[in-house]
């Protein structure tokens, strides 16, 4: 039976702290022995993927940047093919993976993930965007499996009422979980990791803790859509090549 890694979507507006959240939780997951990889989405660049690669906590081969070329939510909801192919490549190259994080490109409050792509998703907002965000009742924030209110440390400096946000987030999410985080100090990140463990990994401790996951895929495989596509007739390019282009 082919092993399939759990898939967690991470959505939210531009600048809400999605990538910073990944930078915080991945080392924590790795310390528990969880084998992790990441797919990022950007409109016309691989900026977020490049940022994660520079951090160095994961081998570069475990981070794939997808250039969506269109509205970010299209690639995670209406037509998630590009992301599904990226996940397929990671699972083929690293069959030991337990978890793949899929970060959406920055979008609006209506952005939700297709459950054909992910098993669960979280939606990240930040205090600096205003304390009225929870009561705007955006589908991304309200419907997500976990809501993350990030940058709680800046509330006093932007005139945001964090107490009001806590009250209204609970009200509009009707009891679904909400976590309040400061990625600079790691406040609240343990709750995010606990959610992942309970919801997707079922509290598993995956072997011995590892801070240096293997970067070496099988020698016969490469990180490209062509290698994971079905074999094509000579001289014919795979149809998927034009969908994703290079992962960088």
User: pLDDT grade, residue 194 (50/70/90)?
Assistant: very high
Q: Cα angle at 59 between 36 and 64, to 5 degrees?
A: 70
In a domain, 42, yes or no: yes
Q: Is the pLDDT of residue 173 over 90?
A: yes
pLDDT per residue over 11-43, tens digit each? 999 999 999 999 999 999 999 999 999 999 999
In a domain, 176, yes or no: yes
In a domain, 59, yes or no: yes
Annotation: binding site: 12-19
Domain holding 106: CATH number? 3.40.50.300
In a domain, 1, yes or no: no
Annotation: binding site for GTP: 12-19
Domain count, the chain: 1
Residues 211 and 29: their CA atoms lie apart, in Å, by 10
In a domain, 120, yes or no: yes
pTM given for the model: 0.83
In a domain, 100, yes or no: yes
**Mean per-residue pLDDT, 210-226:** 43
Enclosing domain of residue 136:
6-203+214-244
Q: Which residues pair with 182 in a beta bridge?
A: 187
**Mean per-residue pLDDT, 221-242:** 37
In a domain, 174, yes or no: yes
Q: Is the pLDDT of residue 103 over 50?
A: yes
Residues 42 and 72: their CA atoms lie apart, in Å, by 7
Which segment of 45-59, 126-140, 190-204, 230-244 scores lowest on mean pLDDT?
230-244
């Amino acid at each position: 039976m082919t092993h399939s890694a759990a898939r967690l979507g991470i959505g939210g507006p531009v600048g809400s702290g999605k990538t910073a959240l990944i930078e915080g939780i991945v080392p924590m997951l790795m310390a528990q022995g969880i084998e992790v990889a990441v797919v990022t989405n950007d409109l016309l660049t691989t900026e977020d993927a490049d940022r994660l690669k520079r951090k160095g906590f994961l081998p570069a081969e475990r981070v794939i940047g997808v250039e969506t070329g269109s509205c970010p939510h299209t690639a995670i909801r209406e037509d998630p093919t590009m992301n599904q192919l990226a996940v397929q490549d990671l699972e083929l190259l690293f069959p030991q993976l337990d978890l793949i994080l899929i970060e959406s490109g920055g979008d609006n409050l209506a952005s939700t993930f297709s459950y054909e792509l992910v098993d669960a998703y979280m939606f990240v907002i930040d205090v600096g965007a205003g304390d009225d965000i929870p009561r705007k009742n955006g589908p991304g924030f309200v419907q997500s499996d976990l809501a993350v209110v990030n940058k709680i440390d800046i509330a006093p400096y932007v005139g945001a009422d964090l107490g009001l946000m806590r009250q209204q987030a609970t009200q509009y999410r009707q009891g679904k979980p909400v976590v309040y985080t400061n990625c600079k100090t790691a406040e609240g990140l343990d709750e995010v990791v606990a959610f992942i463990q309970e919801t997707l990994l079922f509290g598993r401790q995956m072997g011995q803790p590892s801070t240096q996951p293997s970067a070496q895929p099988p020698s016969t495989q490469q990180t490209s859509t062509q290698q994971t596509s079905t074999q094509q007739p000579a001289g014919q390019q795979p149809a998927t090549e034009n969908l994703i282009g290079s992962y960088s």
